[in-house]
Amino acid sequence: MVNFTIAQLREHMGNRHNIRNMSVIAHVDHGKSTLTDALVQKAGIIGQQQAGDVRIMDTRQDEQERGITIKSTGISLYYEFELAGKRDGYLINIIDSPGHVDFSSEVTAAIRVTDGGLVVVDCVEGVSVQTETVLRQALTERVRPVLMMNKIDRVLLELKSDSEEAYQKFQRVIEDINVLIATYHDETLGEMEINPVQGNVVFGSGLHQFGFTLRRFAAFYSSKFGIPAEVLVKKLWGDNFFNPKTKKWQKTDTDEDGKKLKRGFVQYIMDPLYVIFGAIMDDNREKLDKILNQMDIKITQEQRAYKERQLVKAVMQNWIPAADALLEVIILNLPSPVDSQKYRVETLYTGPMDDPCANAIRNCDPDGPLMLYVSKMVPADKTRFNAFGRVFSGTVRTGMKVRMQGPNFLHGKKEDLYIKPIQRVVLYMGRKFEAVDDVPCGNTCCLVGVDQYLTKSGTITDYEDAYNIATMKFSVSPVVRVAVEPKSMADLPKLVEGLKRLAKSDPLCVISTSDSGEHVIAGAGELHLEICLKDLQDDFMGGTQVKVSDPVVQFCETVTKTSSQTALAKSPNKHNRIYMEAEPLDDELVEEIEKGYINPEKDAKEMGKDLVNKYNWDPTDSRKIWCFGPDGKGPNLVVDKSKAVQYLDECKDSFEQAFAWASSKGALCDETMRGIRFNVMDATLHPDTIHRGAAQMVPPIRSCYFASELFASPAILEPVFLAEITSPQDAVGGIYSCLNKRRGQVVSEEPRIGTPLVQVKAYLPVMESFGFTADLRAHTSGQAFPQCVFDHWQEMSGDVFDESSKPNGVVKSIRKRKGLPEAIPKGDQFVDRL
Ligand code: GDP
Ligand code: MG
């Protein structure tokens, strides 16, 4: 039973003003997937009774079993909606995304391709960690939020709190969200406040499939009161109390005789709900009939025979269906692509703001150059992936020849660029794909055949001079790794192929091979890795099992002082000499580089100014940064401090090459460097280029990087999670004892107002986090639930060269694991004598 055809959908894709692209975002378990069912059901894809139970967007078997969403899923739906007496068709592209922090990269990918976010909050639990994280991401991407105050059936059935308490709970959630919105206020987007009176809040229950806005009730009561709905709606929220004696609305909650009055929201909305729920649960048919009649609610003869929750659902679904309220809020409050792209273009496009691509994105022009951003790959069958993304300008057609620009593509260069035809354009419909000829801008779609060229994400365009659409920034980092190997060597090719597919299917995970041939998978945390490994074996290797190492943590190498001596190294032919020193980079500068604010593509003059003013750099040095590393953009720098050395400029390539190598595998234990600045102090070079080719230059330069690192009091940085743990008050003791055992540091402990819960925030070294969830559950009788997200890098205290120190042990065990000689090298081993 489908209410619309693909042809109808396609037709509406051209009606740009009537499109809404929306992600559903929330903390895990707050009810996103259940709610999305309500919308899918309304569009006619699943039956009315099933809605709320199927979770059609949880397409994977493990998602259905675990009851959590792991991958984000897209679906395009068509609805008719009446606005100001006019019926019109709307196309809504919805993405349901996972709520667990380990999968936040999926959320990032979802937010990128949508213009609005339906923020779902469990009204009993309130605004949680992940609600904040995803909302923050949405706001920085200029995605406009609306609110679903979800699970209000819990207030009515479980908590039995009174109507006024319920109001206070709702008010608190709205305030919490508005605090965040105010923090990220962005002038260009205009008013963003969440306010029931403005009509951007739905109150309801995904499970029972009902929902309402204040407008809905204002319209209902308007004739009773003889007040226009627009006026009445303002009385239904905030401090507005109806005084039956004076028959007037007033701002205070007591009448002239000192009698307590009820606020509008309580008296006219919550109380009738309580009566209905109460009458049904007590099976008081007389009372029920009376209120059904009063509120003008109709149910069928068949539904009359229902009892308890089933009857609740039938009554509420008939009366105030969730989908209607959601559609109203989505259509009226979220921007169409035409509206949103006007302001999103600045944060999306990396090229000049007046080139044809920028203009076409700004105007959402279907006839302009094609600009499409691929945000993730979704499995199409056992071997292939479809590239899912958003058309920001132009129209993408089956068969058209395009430029596929990966994240490392630079304007005017040829790296990470493929010019190929698009095999097919398809629509993403939850559990299946539907072929179409073309898709115009303002919509999401999938492309077949792109997965051969783009790994995870990228820009697709038909305009030769196009710059990339900005690469997504993730709020999580792949700091936990496992090494995998096949159980039998015959399966090695299968493993290699499987890893390639895994790298595609997940927006975040990083696959690499170490020098010793070890295959390594890096992910955000234990759960993320567990899912990656499951996908790898079950889906990408056809059930072949692999041997998995214990999880290991990524560390970084850094320095804490300026090198105690200048490092000197000679080329093998002895004709060239390099002199170098290392020193630590400012912490804040390192972060700015990691966030991409300071990058090698930035205008040299502007960057120089920043370095001088903000970080007290010497003005001459600030203009002589040679390279960033690793990957040409990492948080380590090479600066030329030499004076008038002949031919040095001609050797720059060798310095870059050696740096790419050294900065990704440092001298201590082959881990990535972080926060080191290398200064080239001096050099003597042979006049003849033939004597200073890469083979002569790269080895001594690398030795110099290593020696200067080792001379500069090197240290190990370990990743630290911010763990946020919610639990009942009486379980807090268990949390503290768990944290103590694991070098955890409590940052804050706060009661969650309106609930019997407390929230503990603590720093937890990633290396101590394995098994933390299980341990915590054991210590708190299963009552505490943690979410860990990478927060920062922290120096491990102690001298790495001191045999009795903790970092010394860590470095040695890493060396051992990697098959390196156990002794930590000293700077002297890398230097030559004059
Ligand atoms: P998600 O993790 O945000 O996608 O949440 P799900 O939709 O998977 O729902 C999580 C759990 O909450 C499931 O057990 C649902 O049955 C339950 N749930 C969802 N919506 C409601 C609701 O409106 N009321 C109540 N009481 N439970 C709900
Ligand atoms: Mg879900």
Domains, the chain: 10-332 (3.40.50.300), 337-461 (2.40.30.10), 480-554 (3.30.70.870), 558-713 (3.30.230.10), 717-798 (3.30.70.240)
What is the best residue among 28, 30, 34 to mutate for testing ligand 1's pocket, by most ligand atoms within 8 Å of CB?
34
| Angstrom distance (rounded) from CA 374 to CA 379 | 14
Structure letter (DSSP) for residue 187: G
- DSSP result, 313-330: HHHHHHHSBHHHHHHHHH
At residue 193, the pLDDT reads 93
Among candidate residues 101, 104, 102, 133, the one with its CA nearest the CA of residue 119: 133
**ipTM passes above 0.90:** yes
Mean pLDDT to the nearest integer, 820-832:
91
Residue 331 has pLDDT above 70, yes or no: yes
At residue 103, the pLDDT reads 75
Residue 422 in contact with residue 396, Cβ under 8 Å?
A: yes
Alpha carbon 682 to chain centroid distance?
45
Distance between Cα 31 and ligand 1 center (Å):
4
Cβ(114) – ligand 1 distance below 6 Å: no
Q: How confident is the model at residue 64 (pLDDT cuts 50, 70, 90)?
A: low
Cβ(36) – ligand 1 distance below 6 Å: no
User: What ligand is nearest to the CA atom of residue 125?
Assistant: 1
Mean pLDDT to the nearest integer, 100-125:
87
What is the best residue among 29, 70, 121, 159 to mutate for testing ligand 1's pocket, by most ligand atoms within 8 Å of CB?
29
Cβ(68) – ligand 1 distance below 6 Å: yes
Cβ(480) – ligand 1 distance below 6 Å: no
Cβ(163) – ligand 1 distance below 6 Å: no
Mean pLDDT to the nearest integer, 397-422:
92
Task: Name residues with Cβ closer than 5 Å to ligand 2, which is an ion.
Answer: 32-33, 69
Residue 213 has pLDDT above 80, yes or no: yes
Mean pLDDT to the nearest integer, 582-603:
88
CB-based contacts of 437, cutoff 8 Å, min separation 6: 10, 397, 398, 425
Q: What is the pLDDT of residues 65-96, one digit of tens each?
A: 655 556 667 777 888 888 777 888 888 888 88
Per-chain mean pLDDT for the chain:
88
Mean pLDDT to the nearest integer, 683-701:
92
Q: What is the pLDDT of residues 264-301, one digit of tens each?
A: 999 999 999 999 999 998 899 999 999 898 888 888 88
At residue 54, the pLDDT reads 59
- The region of weakest confidence among 102-106, 364-368, 484-488, 528-532 is 102-106
Q: What is the pLDDT of residues 357-366, one digit of tens each?
A: 999 999 999 9
Cβ(33) – ligand 1 distance below 6 Å: yes
Instruction: Please identify, by atom number, the ligand 1 atom nearest to the C-alpha of residue 208.
Output: 23
| Angstrom distance (rounded) from CA 834 to CA 578 | 11
User: What ligand is nearest to the CA atom of residue 67?
Assistant: 1
* Rounded percentage of the chain residues whose pLDDT exceeds 90: 54
Element (H, E) at 726: strand 714-728
| Angstrom distance (rounded) from CA 535 to CA 384 | 14
Mean pLDDT to the nearest integer, 567-593:
94
Highest-pLDDT range among 194-208, 517-531, 742-756: 194-208
Cβ(64) – ligand 1 distance below 6 Å: no
Instruction: Please identify, by atom number, the ligand 1 atom nearest to the C-alpha of residue 120.
Output: 3
Distance between Cα 532 and ligand 2 center (Å):
18
Residue 718 in contact with residue 679, Cβ under 8 Å?
A: no
Q: How confident is the model at residue 769 (pLDDT cuts 50, 70, 90)?
A: confident
Distance between Cα 432 and ligand 2 center (Å):
18
Which residue has the CA at smallest separation from atom 10 of ligand 1?
Answer: 29
User: What ligand is nearest to the CA atom of residue 27?
Assistant: 1
Q: How confident is the model at residue 47 (pLDDT cuts 50, 70, 90)?
A: very low
Distance between Cα 539 and ligand 2 center (Å):
21
- The region of weakest confidence among 44-48, 110-114, 349-353, 429-433 is 44-48
Q: How far is CA 420 from CA 405, 425, 452, 454, in A?
A: 11, 14, 10, 11
| Angstrom distance (rounded) from CA 257 to CA 254 | 8
At residue 1, the pLDDT reads 34
Q: How far is CA 735 from CA 627, 746, 760, 780, in A?
A: 45, 10, 8, 7
Positive or negative, the Cα torsion across 275, 280, 281, 286?
positive
Q: Which residue has the higher pLDDT, 699 or 136?
A: 699
Among candidate residues 24, 11, 20, 18, the one with its CA nearest the CA of residue 92: 20
At residue 50, the pLDDT reads 52
Mean pLDDT to the nearest integer, 155-174:
86
Residue 331 in contact with residue 20, Cβ under 8 Å?
A: yes
Distance between Cα 64 and ligand 2 center (Å):
9
| Angstrom distance (rounded) from CA 522 to CA 509 | 5
Residue 547 has pLDDT above 90, yes or no: yes
* Rounded percentage of the chain residues whose pLDDT exceeds 70: 94
Which residue has the CA at smallest separation from atom 16 of ligand 1?
Answer: 207
At residue 412, the pLDDT reads 85
Cβ(313) – ligand 1 distance below 6 Å: no
Q: How confident is the model at residue 652 (pLDDT cuts 50, 70, 90)?
A: very high
Which residue has the CA at smallest separation from atom 19 of ligand 1?
Answer: 31
At residue 325, the pLDDT reads 93
CB-based contacts of 490, cutoff 8 Å, min separation 6: none
Among candidate residues 260, 264, 221, 259, the one with its CA nearest the CA of residue 242: 264
What the block records as the tokens of 438 is 């073309």
Residue 46 has pLDDT above 60, yes or no: no
